[in-house]
Amino acid sequence: MTIIERTERPDPPWESWPDLIGRQSSADRFTGRGGRSIDNSCSTLCALATSASSLHVTTSTGVRYPYDRVILCTGSSFVPPALRGLRKPGVHVLGSAGAYAGLQERCASSDSVVVFGEGFRGLAVSERLASPGRTVHLVASHWRHAAPSGPVLDIFRRSARKNGVIIAEGSVSGAFGAGRVEAVVANGDVIKCEALIIVPERAPRAIPTGAELGPAGGLLVDGLLQTTARGTLAAGGCAEMQNGFGVTAVLDEDPGMSGRIAGANCTGGKIAARNVSFLRARAFGLKFATEGIGQMALNLWGSRFESVSRSCGSSACTIVYERPTGRVSSVQVVGPTEEDSLASVANAAGASLRSIAYGGLGSSDISLLVDTARLGLYNCRDY
Strand partners, 174: 84, 185
Secondary structure class of 373 (helix, strand, coil): helix
Contact 9, 33 (CB under 8 A): yes
Find the helix or strand (DSSP H, E) in which 203 lies: strand 202-204
Q: Write the class of the CATH domain 91-200.
A: alpha beta
pLDDT at residue 152 is higher than 90: yes
Which pLDDT score, from 0 to 100, does residue 41 have? 67
Architecture category of domain 71-76+201-282 in CATH:
3-Layer(bba) Sandwich (3.50)
pLDDT at 170: 93
CB atoms within 10 A of CB 330: 29
User: Does residue 332 register a pLDDT over 70?
Assistant: yes
Segment 219-238 shows an average pLDDT of 94
Question: Is pLDDT of 294 > 70?
Answer: no
Q: Among 322, 381, 309, which Cα is nearest to 353's?
A: 322
8 Å CB contact between 84 and 173:
yes
What is the rounded average pLDDT of the residues 343-361?
72
CA 12 to chain centre: 16
Q: Distance between CA 89 and CA 240 in Å, rounded? A: 37
How far apart CA 83 and CA 316 sit, in angstroms, is: 35
Among 144-153, 159-168, 173-182, where is mean pLDDT lowest? 144-153
Whether 71-76+201-282 and 91-200 share one fold: the answer is yes
Mean pLDDT in residue range 47-66? 91
Q: How far is residue 89 CA from its own chain's centroid?
A: 29
338 or 230: which leads in pLDDT: 230
pLDDT at 50 (0 to 100): 93
In sequence order, what are the residues at sequence separation of 6 or more whose Cβ sits closer than 8 angstroms to the Cβ of residue 70? 52, 57, 231, 232, 233
Instruction: List the one residue out of 215, 328, 226, 211 whose CA is nearest residue 272.
Output: 226
Which residues make beta-bridge pairs with 309? 318
The distance in angstroms from the start CA to the end CA of the chain is 54
At 38, the pLDDT band (50, 70, 90 cuts) reads low
Q: How confident is the model at residue 289 (pLDDT cuts 50, 70, 90)?
A: confident
Q: What's residue 34's pLDDT?
A: 44
Q: Is the pLDDT of residue 53 over 80?
A: yes
Question: Which CATH fold would you assign to the domain 285-379?
Answer: Enolase-like; domain 1 (3.30.390)
| Confidence grade of residue 31 (pLDDT, cut at 50, 70, 90) | very low
Confidence of residue 14 (pLDDT cuts 50, 70, 90): confident
Q: At what angle do helices 368-379 and 340-348 cross, to 10 degrees?
A: 50
Instruction: Report the run of H or E that residue 381 belongs to, with start and end.
Output: none
Per-residue model confidence (pLDDT) at position 377: 82
Buried b (16+ CB within 10 A) or exposed e, 314-323: ebbbbbbbbe
* Residue 144 to residue 250: CA distance in whole angstroms: 10
Does the pLDDT of residue 361 top 90, yes or no?
no
- The DSSP bridge pattern shows strands 328-335 and 315-322 to be antiparallel
Cα–Cα dist 190/348, whole Å: 42
Domain residue ranges of the chain, discontinuous segments joined by +? 71-76+201-282, 91-200, 285-379
| Most confident range, picked from 5-9, 87-91, 348-352 | 87-91
State the Cα–Cα distance between residues 222 and 12, nearest whole angstrom.
28
pLDDT at position 24 over 60: no
d(CA 373, CA 377): 6
Give the contacts of 249 (CB within 8 A, at least 6 positions apart): 145, 240, 241, 243, 276, 277, 293
